[in-house]
């Protein structure tokens, strides 16, 4: 009986910890959620048009700050909170923190754009306009065009990008992923954010700023799966002890 009570208390504590870590995310408002108001209307329109032409569906989010949250963790959690699908890519730009992150659905990550390719795209297409030029329209446009082309190339098709983001035409077969040797471990130092490393939770070589993730249970610390596992293990232990008695 005492064991059952102890088990119940443990479950209650675990569930309360799970609910305490809940974060409220903004409502999704289409393909572009420009909370930082840094993107032009034409960019927003072009993202919508690109989504109509591409198999991959892109969603862009801009924020000024994340209030201490890690960009990649926030991006992955937002991907889950918005119930984005296997064919979705969520791009997060944190303007004031000079950080960016992306989360991809399972199908995109497994078949169309690998993590290394994504980081290569970050390096070759997004970094320069985002950090140095602060041309956020250009950063989003170049990154999405290259990512869309990469996905089309992986499918063996081409992507019609005529007129999107100020380009004439880009095809999936003509776009080549550059600097494939780049690893996301190398990207930490570009951020220009001297604050990195100030707190123990941040690191100059923090891969979260540029890597991608599909692990929706990344920061929750608890999940129904883990709960079932704990209950099952405890059940087996208790049953074995009773049998011995």
Nearest one of 104, 133, 132 to 119, comparing CA atoms: 104
The one among 29, 45, 111, 134 contacting other proteins by CB under 8 A:
134
Look at residue 37 and give its three-state secondary structure.
coil
Q: How far is CA 51 from CA 35, 60, 159, 161, 195, in A?
A: 20, 11, 11, 11, 36
By CB under 8 A, is residue 195 in contact with other proteins? yes
The one among 34, 46, 97, 208 contacting other proteins by CB under 8 A:
97
By CB under 8 A, is residue 225 in contact with other proteins? no
Encode 90-158 in three state secondary structure. Answer: EEEEECCCCEEEEEECHHHHHHHCCHHHHHHHHHHHHHHHHHHHCCHHHHHHHHHHHHHHHHHHHHCCC
65 or 235, CB closer to other proteins?
A: 65
Interatomic CA distance for residues 237 and 235, integer angstroms: 5
The one among 150, 193, 210, 213 contacting other proteins by CB under 8 A:
193
By CB under 8 A, is residue 103 in contact with other proteins? no
By CB under 8 A, is residue 175 in contact with other proteins? no
Look at residue 34 and give its three-state secondary structure.
strand
67 or 156, CB closer to other proteins?
A: 67
One character per residue 52-71, x = contact with other proteins (rule: CB under 8 A): ------------xxxxx---
The one among 26, 30, 96, 163 contacting other proteins by CB under 8 A:
96
46 or 70, CB closer to other proteins?
A: 70
Q: Which stretch binds other proteins (CB under 8 A): 41-49, 192-200, 222-230, 236-244?
A: 192-200
């Amino acid at each position: 009986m005492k064991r059952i009570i102890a088990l119940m208390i443990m479950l209650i504590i675990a569930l309360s910890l799970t609910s305490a870590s809940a974060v409220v995310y903004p409502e999704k408002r289409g393909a572009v959620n420009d909370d930082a108001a840094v993107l032009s209307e034409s960019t927003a329109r072009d993202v919508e048009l690109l989504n109509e032409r591409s198999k991959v569906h892109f969603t862009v989010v801009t924020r000024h700050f994340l209030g201490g949250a890690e960009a990649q963790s926030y991006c992955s959690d937002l991907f889950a909170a918005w119930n984005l699908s296997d064919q979705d890519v969520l791009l997060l730009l944190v303007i004031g923190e000079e950080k960016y992150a992306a989360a991809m659905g399972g199908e995109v990550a497994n078949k169309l754009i690998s993590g290394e390719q994504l980081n290569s795209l970050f390096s070759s297409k997004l970094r320069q306009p985002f950090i140095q030029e602060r041309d956020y329209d250009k950063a989003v446009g170049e990154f999405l065009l290259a990512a869309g082309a990469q996905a089309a190339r992986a499918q063996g098709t081409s992507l019609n990008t005529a007129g999107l983001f100020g380009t004439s035409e880009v095809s999936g077969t003509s776009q080549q992923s550059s600097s494939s040797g780049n690893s996301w471990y190398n990207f930490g130092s570009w951020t220009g954010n001297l604050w990195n490393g100030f707190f123990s939770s941040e690191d100059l070589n923090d891969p979260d700023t540029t890597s991608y993730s599909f692990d929706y249970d990344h920061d929750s610390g608890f999940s129904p799966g883990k709960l079932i596992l704990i209950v099952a293990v405890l059940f087996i232990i208790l049953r074995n002890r009773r049998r011995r008695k």
